[in-house]
Amino acid sequence: KQEVTQIPAALSVPEGENLVLNCSFTDSAIYNLQWFRQDPGKGLTSLLLIQSSQREQTSGRLNASLDKSSGRSTLYIAASQPGDSATYLCAVLRPINDYKLSFGAGTTVTVRA
Amino acid sequence: DAGVTQSPTHLIKTRGQHVTLRCSPISGHKSVSWYQQVLGQGPQFIFQYYEKEERGRGNFPDRFSARQFPNYSSELNVNALLLGDSALYLCASSLYETGLQETQYFGPGTRLLVL
């Protein structure tokens, strides 16, 4: 069974500081890993998808790395802004006959102005 | 193009009642998945449908059922509601069966409260 853990559960930083969010998973046989953003009471917005053959993906101020062998991914958000305040979730997809995304519980980020 | 849409946005039911939640995928997407998100936790997989066939089922009781229609929209049905069914129900769509090559797109969710 795939278990996904996100540490820390919550994070509060002043505006402008870089954010580092961690995700670990127990089964390294994944197909891809996605990072999502969720605003309170809302659905999920996909931020980045990393295929298992990739080491990292970048989009604007966001950079996600993947170390499949150690079962870890890290999401970096540069120069944080108050608008980055949200819950960030990582999810992994296993290959072959396993169609579900397995999610972590998320890291709730507060960026203080 | 419209994203994934879900209806209703909010719903209040009492224990023992039945509920039907609806989802319309992004145009051209043939796969729909349902997830349950209890407050403070990550989403948990309930069902996945592709081309109107069930492709995957999570660890949920038989009170939960779903179906996909010829236009690829989907319904999630929950019978004999329990207090513990209170959650945000999320629908996700993707172009292909497993979403291996591309992102799964999530709708805004339906917030269900069981009293």
Asked whether B70 and B2 are in contact (CB, 8 A), the reply is no
What six digits make up the tokens of A77? Answer: 């958000």
Enter the DSSP assignment of A11: E
Asked whether A111 and A90 are in contact (CB, 8 A), the reply is no
* A105 burial via Cβ count (<10 Å: 0-12, 13-18, 19+): middle
What six digits make up the tokens of B69? Answer: 């229609």
- Contact status of B43 with chain A (Cβ, < 8 Å): yes
Integer-rounded Cα Rg, in Å, for chain A is: 14
H or E element in which residue B47 lies: strand B44-50
What six digits make up the tokens of A76? Answer: 């970096």
- Which pLDDT does position B4 carry in this prediction? 95
- Which pLDDT does position A96 carry in this prediction? 59
Q: Determine which of A1-5, A22-26, A58-62, A76-80 has the lowest per-residue pLDDT on average.
A: A1-5
Best probe of the B interface among A7, A34, A93, A100, by most B CBs < 10 A, is A100
Q: Which is nearest to A79 in space by CA: A57, A56, A63?
A: A63
User: What percent of chain A clears pLDDT 70, i.e. is strictly above it?
Assistant: 96
Which distant-in-sequence residues (6+ apart) come within 8 Å of B71 by Cβ? none
- Which pLDDT does position B97 carry in this prediction? 61
Q: Within chain B, which residues score under 50 in pLDDT?
A: none
Q: Which residue has the tokens 């999610």?
A: A103
CA gap A93, A66 in Å, rounded? 13
pLDDT tens digits along A68-113:
999 999 999 999 999 999 999 999 987 655 678 899 999 999 999 9
CA gap A48, B102 in Å, rounded? 10
pLDDT tens digits along A34-78:
999 999 888 999 999 998 899 999 999 999 999 999 999 999 999
Chain B residues within an 8 Å CB radius of A104 = 42
A73 has which bridge partners?
Answer: A23, A66
- Contact status of B112 with chain A (Cβ, < 8 Å): no
The phi, psi pair for B84, rounded to 5°, reads -70, -5
Best probe of the B interface among A7, A21, A32, A44, by most B CBs < 10 A, is A44
Asked whether A33 and A102 are in contact (CB, 8 A), the reply is no
Q: Does residue A24 have a pLDDT over 90?
A: yes
- Which pLDDT does position B96 carry in this prediction? 74
* Nearest-by-CA chain A residue for B97: A99
- Which pLDDT does position B103 carry in this prediction? 76
pLDDT tens digits along B1-10:
689 999 999 9
CA gap B19, B23 in Å, rounded? 14
- Which pLDDT does position B94 carry in this prediction? 87
